[in-house]
Structure 1
Amino acid sequence: MNGNWLHSLQERLWGVAPWDASKISDEWFRAHFEYAADVVNHWIGGVLDVRSARFLNFGCGDGITDLSLVLRYGATSIHGVDIRREYTKLPRIAREQLGMRRIPSALTFESITPGAPLAGQRALVDGIMSWSTFEHVQRDQLAPIFADLHACLRPGGYFFIQIEPLFYSPFGSHLRRYDDVPWHHLLASEEALWQVIKNHQGPIDAAEVDFGFADFGVDGYKEFVFKEYRSLNRLTADELVDLTTQAGFHVVRQERRNVEMEIPSALRGRYPDELLLNNEIFLLLSK
């Protein structure tokens, strides 16, 4: 998108366009520019030189985390792919939130068709990252996608995956911006859940309002997030590990974060406690 020769020349002559984090006013931007980027760097920066490695971001979204990795951690090559085109908003977002005149040439983005192979399209990468993406992928596409990403990674490369919230956790529906009843998606019918969302009034948590909200409007966004809920693949942490190792990856390190909440009596015995309390997984893989 912005990795053209003119921008590269400008950066060689004058450096990356100036930016100012004190201008940040949007909480969604702040969370992805600061927290998400810090986590990714902590996990993958410990095994790769971020300043020289070539990265692929699978499910890059709006590209805010990628931008932060370039500006704050010195990444020099990140190619983001996604089935949506939210990354096209990044130049405007960076201008509004950081005062940047142009996006760094280290960033390139691409729209992909769900399930379309990536291997062989570009040079092998040193690292792959994915932030809260794989819970949205159709189940029958998971194994082929992991096999394809394995083929995209050079031998000795690393793959970092984060998922939060996992489906069976208290707010695994991804509907918490409208419904704050823990495990409600496991206790209520879809019709009842939709009525809660539909009847919600007032503002929602600013950290949960992404830059696509304005594209839908208040009612349209409710419909969008509920459709996303219905399409969740219900992937568990154990299944994620199994699928990635079956694709040929080796587990280097993993961390599972659980919530400390009382499990409703109606759910006890229906699901293992660990499944209900496991909210997040960080997984570092190697090839």
Structure 2
Amino acid sequence: MTPPRWWTVARERLWGLAPWDAGRISDEWFRAHFEYAADVVNQWVGGVLDVRSARLLNFGCGDGITDLALVLRHGATAIHGVDIRREYAKLPRIAREQLGMRRIPAALTFETIQPGAPLAGRHPPVDGIMSWSTFEHVERGQLLPILCDLHACLRPGGVFFLQIEPLFYSPYGSHLRRYDDVPWHHLLATEEALWQVIQAHEGPIDAAEVDFGFADFGADGYKRFVFKEYQALNRLTADELVALAGQAGFTVERQERRSVDLQPPPELRGRYSDELLRNNEVFLLLRKGDARAA
């Protein structure tokens, strides 16, 4: 039986967090999110907030690995993760297998939400929000309402760090690279042709691309799952994201766009700009206006 959260909080205040050992990490998906993703979030958010005292919201928390790392490696003390799927329910088992932890920290709480359901007003305002490779999966018509809702979730002066990778028009923006390594293939081939490539794929896929939900689907089921995810991508560009953030009331504090060192095929250059085709990743640090400036 899981002990009540108040008991876990009290125990951690008295005796500290459960012991953990990063030397046990064997899964590459876990390593990438526990190390790289958490370090990037901390670099961007920790540069403007004290994560050791800030109240944080993770929109699209997935399996919660990055949240766990922010607590264990960067001292965060209050992170609430929300997602439309319950992958975070696997986190206690994952932490036990990869770190030897007997329990996850009380600093972490998670919640399953309905797509597009408003969050503002359900919890006290937060100091910071983060979102890692989530907004490309949001239904296009929900992008602005969700950004407005997240703006309302922040205290005045609060910040929102948002990352997307890969962007749709980049070489592997289909999110299908597990099965199809041809750059820009999704912009060149029909959906039927892409599905045939995926169906024909045999053998292992890159370990860093195998998340902890893979076993839930099985090999064939996972192919169907990721292809449906591809079909549902909103095709958001970095310029569109910045414009939507402004419409929602955010100001851009900082941004970075990363591009790949590949040349697009000639048949795409007449349809899209090189900048659009090569822009693989975007990082945004957004801020909600300070009430004192109103």
Common fold: TM-score over 0.5: yes
Q: Name the amino acid aligned to 2:278.
A: L
Matching residue of 1:226: 227
Q: 3-state DSSP class of the match of 1:256?
A: strand
The TM-score, its normalising length taken from structure 2, stands at 0.97
Quote the residue 2:86 is aligned against: 85
1:128-277 equivalences under 5 Å are: 128-277=129-278
State the alpha-carbon separation in 2 of the partners of residues 202 and 279 from structure 1: 27
Identity level (%): 80
Gaps of 5+ in 2: 289-294
1:121 is aligned to: 122
Deviation (angstroms), 1:3? 7.4
The aligned counterpart of 2:73 is: 72
CA separation in 2, counterparts of 1:148 and 1:221? 32
Which stretches of structure 1, 4 residues or more, deviate above 4 A after TM superposition? Answer: none
CA apart distance, 1:9: 1.3
Separation of aligned partners in 2, 1:208 and 1:2 = 34
Which amino acid in the other structure matches residue 276 of structure 1? L
Q: What's 2:282 paired with?
A: 281
**Cα distance change on mapping 1:144 and 1:2 into 2, 3 Å:** farther
Shift of 1:2: 8.1
SS in 2 for 1:266: helix
User: Which whole-Å CA distance do the structure 2 matches of 1:222 and 1:200 have between them?
Assistant: 9
Separation of aligned partners in 2, 1:167 and 1:54: 32
Number of positions where the alignment pairs a residue of Structure 1 with one of Structure 2: 287
- Describe the superposition over 1:202-256 as per-residue Cα deviations: whole angstroms up to 9, x where unpaired: 0000000000000000000000000000000000000000001100000000000
* In structure 2, distance between residues paired with 1:93 and 1:229: 26
- Give the aligned CA root-mean-square deviation in angstroms: 0.9
Letter in 1 for 2:17: V
Contact 1:3 1:104 in 2 (8 A): no
Offset, 1:10: 1.2
SS of alignment partner, residue 173 of structure 1:
coil
**Corresponding residue number in structure 1 for 2:291:** none
Q: Helix, strand or coil for the counterpart of 2:285?
A: strand
Unaligned ranges ≥5, structure 1? none
The question of whether the paired residues in 2 share the 8 Å contact of 1:2 and 1:103 is answered with no
| Distance in 1 separating the partners of 2:57 and 2:218 | 32
User: Aligned residue for 2:292?
Assistant: none
Could you tell me which amino acid in structure 2 is paired with residue 91 of structure 1? Answer: P
Give the letter for the 2:96 counterpart.
R
Taking a change above 3 Å as real, the CA distance of residues 3 and 264 of structure 1, as seen in their structure-2 partners, is farther
SS at 1:267 equivalent: helix
